[in-house]
Amino acid sequence: MATTRAALTESDIRMLVKGATPDERALAAHKLCRNIDRAALSEEERQVAHDILRVMAADAAELVRRALAVTLKNSMALPADVANRLARDVESVSLPVISFSPVFSDNDLIEIVRVGGRVRQMAVAKRPKLSTRVTSMLVEQGGEDVVATACANDNARFSEVSLQKALDRFSKSERVLQAVAYRAVLPMAVSERLIEMVGDQLRDHILAHHNLSAETTLELIVGAKERATIDLVDQAGRAADPRAFVAHLRQAGRLSPSLVLRALAHGHMSFFEWAVAELAGVPHHRTWLMIHDAGPLGLKAICERAGLPPRLHSAFRAGVDAFHGLEFDGGVHDRERFQERMIQRFLTSSHAVSREDNEYLLERMDRSANKRRGDRKGQGAA
């Protein structure tokens, strides 16, 4: 066992066992743990090292046990039985190991969650990696802060059943609902349920960031029960698949000339192109050319084929021209300013739109301006 003796010197071991003060023994423990972690040990030498670690874990001085926990919290050299003993120790010793040690099995972590109390549950919830079995126990046993922390941990895997259970237990908790909504990936059923439970900001985040089908997105938009219908114009600008989105809008009887006009006035050109292509039954690439590169007659012809009212053709022309004449400036509130200028140009152009559409666009322009003023006041107060 020459290698072991080189890594774990006799004097260090004697100091660990017989050191006069906790400080001396803690220093020896730190040095021994570091050498054990770094040394290439045979199986026999590893058993000797494990016995030494068990001596450390049984030391009466908290400082020694903490030196062991902190030094080997990320190491595979820590025996599982020692890790589980440390997990039941005082918090200064247990938390570093519970938070990071890779030697715990799922069963070990489940037992810690079951009997360990809130502080230890929180340490488990923050671990760099969690299986669905462990998160299921966290959702079952943890309080609001523990469940919110686990759900906010995107390295923690959740089953759909566990996420639904979290929503059942904490349906009124903004922290938990937000943590679930902001997960990188959500099952569709969970996304659909969240839509009914959260406020406007989280609802918009779910619609914008989670992979819902166009049909489901439309159903959620039209069927939201706890507020007025989400503005389809806003949704038109963020649809991940505009082709499928406009197809389902048309199937649902909601791809109206007014919606197409309002979306164009907001600068949602991709939606406008796909909407006209859908209504005209013309491939998108040909529709694009007729809108952008065929002059005024091309746009007029594709709008006629799409069945859009002749009285709106000049309005569509004004919208396309305004879009080509503007660009994003790259600053804060870039999109809002672009849309406001787009609407201003659109409204001051000569075309025949309904009073309802005009009032809608004016109201949206006022809302955008008020929002920016409010944000500037908030920044000034900060």
DSSP at 53: H
CA distance 342 to 320: 10
Residue 295 has a pLDDT of 73
Q: Which of 70-84, 171-185, 222-236, 354-368 has the highest mean pLDDT?
A: 70-84
By the 10 Å C-beta count (0-12 exposed, 13-18 middle, 19+ buried), 241 is classed as: middle
Sign of the alpha-carbon torsion through 181, 184, 187, 192: positive
For residue 85, give Cα distances in angstroms to 82, 115, 268: 5, 14, 61
CA dihedral 128→130→136→140, nearest 10 degrees, is -30
DSSP state of 171: T
Angstrom distance (rounded) from CA 339 to CA 362: 12
Residues comprising the chain, all counted = 382
Q: Report d(CA 307, CA 345) in Å as an integer.
A: 25
pLDDT digits 0-9 by tens, 206-250:
666 665 555 555 554 444 433 332 355 566 556 677 888 888 888
Cβ–Cβ < 8 Å for 48, 1? yes
In this prediction, residues 39-65 reach a mean pLDDT of 86
| pTM over the 0.75 mark | no
- CA–CA distance from 27 to each of 32, 66, 70, 213, 219 (Å)? 9, 11, 12, 59, 64
- pLDDT digit string, tens, across residues 273-319: 999 999 999 999 999 999 988 677 899 999 999 998 887 777 788 77
| pLDDT for residue 325 | 74
Can you say how many angstroms the Cα of residue 117 is from the centroid of all Cα atoms in its chain? 27
Q: Place 187 in a pLDDT band, splitting at 50, 70 and 90.
A: confident
Residue bearing tokens 């995107």: 154
